């Protein structure tokens, strides 16, 4: 299980902002999200979308625990 | 030295008034207040999304670097989140330094970074619907001005004089 947060246009694409999803790794989570919603899967696969696990940016894969918080971050706009 | 993200409107005058007192060694306080523009009716509301705990940490890390680079004595950054109406203040930055050049430059530098690289997501709600906004090339160029490692800051000039 992981707490999944979507920001910016990703939340518009998915139609939700926060969900709890069963996944043991970031790559498994991406697969689960893309299977449930191919449109979201495509949006998450974009090169400009970054992932953060427990508020730290992650490149590549990462293991998730039930307490993990995963955030998908589209390009940041600045304030 | 603080970053405050808040959904409530703030009074920039009050923030500046609170920042200035009890500074016996500060020669200069520079401040900047950014307001939401109406864009001649195109922007009815601006909506700023932050990631609490991530956005503030990124701003804090950046400001700590700027404080070192410009030899700041203190700084304050207050940023709105959520829906913001035209004319309301979005961001307030204040910097305190021994001399004015450092205070001015650090404030300018912090704003360039906040405008182009801070982790916010910005949506403009207008008469024709809503759209997500990304930094303009102009914003990126403004921020890149500070990337030159040979940029001559007051702190670097002082170090060269030693």
A78, B90: Cβ pair inside 8 Å? no
CA B123 to chain centre: 19
Q: Find, in chain A, the residue whose alpha carbon is nearest to that of B136.
A: A77
- Determine contact: B115 vs chain A, CB below 8 A: yes
- Assign B148 a pLDDT band (cuts: 50, 70, 90): low
CA distances (Å), origin B62, targets B9, B117, B119: 24, 10, 11
Query: Domains in chain A, please, with CATH?
Result: 2-73 (3.10.20.30)
Return the minimum-mean-pLDDT range out of A44-48, A65-69, B34-38, B154-158: B154-158
Between A12, A55, A75, which is nearest B54 by CB? A55
Reported as a pLDDT band with limits 50, 70 and 90, residue B158 is: low
Go through the domains of chain B in sequence order and give each one's CATH number.
2-145 (3.90.1170.40)
> Could you report the per-residue pLDDT of B45-77, keeping only the tens digit for each?
999 999 999 999 999 999 999 999 999 999 999
DSSP string, B124-145: EEETTEEEEE---HHHHHHHHT
Size of interface A-B (CB pairs under 8 A): 55
Of the candidates B161, B30, B34, B162, the residue with the CA atom closest to the CA atom of residue B101? B30
CA-to-CA distance for B48 and B115, rounded, in angstroms?
A: 12
Residue B159 has pLDDT above 60, yes or no: no
The pLDDT of residue B162 is 42
In this prediction the ipTM stands at 0.94
Average pLDDT over residues B86-98: 97
pLDDT category at B97 given cuts 50, 70, 90 is very high
R_g of chain B computed on alpha carbons: 17
Nearest to A77 among B34, B57, B120 (CB): B120
Partner-chain residue, chosen from A9, A12, A78, that has the shortest CB–CB distance to B118: A78
């Amino acid at each position: 299980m992981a707490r999944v947060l979507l920001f910016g246009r990703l939340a518009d694409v998915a139609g939700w902002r926060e969900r709890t999803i069963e996944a043991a790794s970031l790559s498994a989570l991406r697969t689960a999200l893309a299977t449930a919603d191919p449109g979201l899967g495509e949006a998450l696969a974009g090169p400009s979308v970054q992932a953060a696990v427990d508020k730290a940016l992650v490149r590549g894969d990462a293991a998730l625990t039930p307490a993990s918080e995963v955030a998908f971050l589209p390009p940041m706009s600045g304030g | 030295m603080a970053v405050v993200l808040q959904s409530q409107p703030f009074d920039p005058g009050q923030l500046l008034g609170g920042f200035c007192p009890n500074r016996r060694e500060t020669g200069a306080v520079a401040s900047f207040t950014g307001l939401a523009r109406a864009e001649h009716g195109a922007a009815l509301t601006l909506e700023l999304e932050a990631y609490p705990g991530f956005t503030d940490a990124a701003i804090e890390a950046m400001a700590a670097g700027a404080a070192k680079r410009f030899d700041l004595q203190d700084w304050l950054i207050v940023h709105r989140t959520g829906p913001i109406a035209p004319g309301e203040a979005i961001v307030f930055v204040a910097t305190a330094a021994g001399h004015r050049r450092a205070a001015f430059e650090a404030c300018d530098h912090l704003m360039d970074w906040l405008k182009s690289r801070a982790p916010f997501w910005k949506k403009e709600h207008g008469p024709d619907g809503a759209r997500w906004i990304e930094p303009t090339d102009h914003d990126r160029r403004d921020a890149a001005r500070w990337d030159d490692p040979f940029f001559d800051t007051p702190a670097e000039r002082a170090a060269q004089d030693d």
